[in-house]
A and B are shown apart, each in its own frame.
Chain A
Amino acid sequence: MSRIHVKSTTRTTTIPAGEIRSAVKKVYSNSVTGRFRSKGASKSVAAKSRMVKNKK
């Protein structure tokens, strides 16, 4: 599947974009789903088998 790019436009907000970024980053890095996805689910079968071999 080709990569989807997030498209944005200028929006007036009362919360600074930097604060939103740090809040989202903090929550996603701590969430169980986020950790699972970043460490395992997105890796290819070949990459996973390399990980298993390395552990052995």
Chain B
Amino acid sequence: MQPLVATPQDFVFINCPFDKEYQKILNALIYCVYRCGFCPITASIEDNALDLRLNKIFECINQSKYGIHDISRIELNEENYPRFNMPFELGLFFGCRKFGDDQHKVKNALIFEKKKYSYLHYISDLNGIDTKSHGNNSFEAIRKVRTWLYSSSKRSLPGEEAIITDYKVFLSNLPGILKALGVKRDNLSFNEYCEIVQTSILEQLGTNKR
């Protein structure tokens, strides 16, 4: 079985931290997006040093109908600066929907934060926006993403617990896959992890006949 080529209706822009502490949640988000028949993208999809990062972000937002924005990690770093990349990219996504052409008017977003409505303390302009919290739990993140993708796309999707069961199978097989490839998880790029996830899901679907 071969994957189908994703269209803008399938792309989910993932706007989140890309550090080690967030890796568990990000891995679960990527798996869930693929397992629901969508395709995750981030600004790190193209490895071209000549492209400005901001241009890559513009391109990702332009391409994607859907966006997952995690603003749960805006805490101060060691030098006491807050992490503003995620709220900034969320603002770009909003702006694109507001001022873009017809294809952008249908953009849909899922916003994660640490505690529901805590954003009112630091981005009060978002007042009235419904956010979700995953409580730093990857299975909860899968449930929230699946529910959101279902309600926003109206597509028929696998149940959340079925996705979690398949994800656990994937997690149990991942060390063997990495060993066979001779790589460590920490050294895998976003793209390589995505390739492993989509190939694993194809393998699971091929044997499950679901």
Contacts and interface: CB of A to CB of B under 8 A. Distances in A.
B172 interface: yes
A38 B3 CA distance: 20
A24 B198 CA distance: 10
B189 A13 contact: yes
A2 interface: yes
Interface in B1-27: 1, 3-7, 10-11
B85 to A, nearest CB: 22
Interface stretch (B35-43, B97-105, B122-130, B131-139): B35-43
Interface residues of B, number: 47
B203 A37 contact: no
A23 B177 contact: yes
B127 to A, nearest CB: 35
B169 interface: yes
A19 B11 CA distance: 25
Interface of B: 1, 3-7, 10-11, 34-39, 41, 45-47, 156-158, 169, 172-173, 176-177, 180-181, 183, 189, 191-192, 194-196, 198-205, 207-210
